[in-house]
Amino acid sequence: MRIVHIRISVLDVHYLTKMGNGVNVENCSYGATICAERAAIIKAVSEGQKKFLALGVSTDVNEFNSPCGMCRQFLTEFVHDNFPIYLVKPDRTYKKITFEKLMPDPFRLDSSSMEKKIN
């Protein structure tokens, strides 16, 4: 069952010049849906990859679509603020943004960022 009716695919580029991909897998129980961004990262991590160079998000809709809130939060564990994300339209035009632009104040359980917020 397709709920959103948008096909999404993701390409992630690893530090070892490998490329991985993922697609969205929708479910009638919306919470069980897996977005393409998370699918690509989970696949790469399951294969031993933990560092990434870039992420590309492509849809079949003629507009730039960025990762959802859940994917943005998920990405905080694997990317840095200046991490490049390419949003791609079907005609292959693209827009490059940074993770920080998508997620300006991410929730991270990292002691150094917690100390900055407290002080």
Q: Which residues are catalytic?
A: 37
* Continuous segment of H or E residues that includes residue 96: strand 94-98
Distance between CA atoms of 35 and 45, rounded to whole angstroms? Answer: 16
Q: Give the SS3 label for residue 85.
A: strand
Dihedral over Cα of 9, 64, 3, 100: its sign = positive
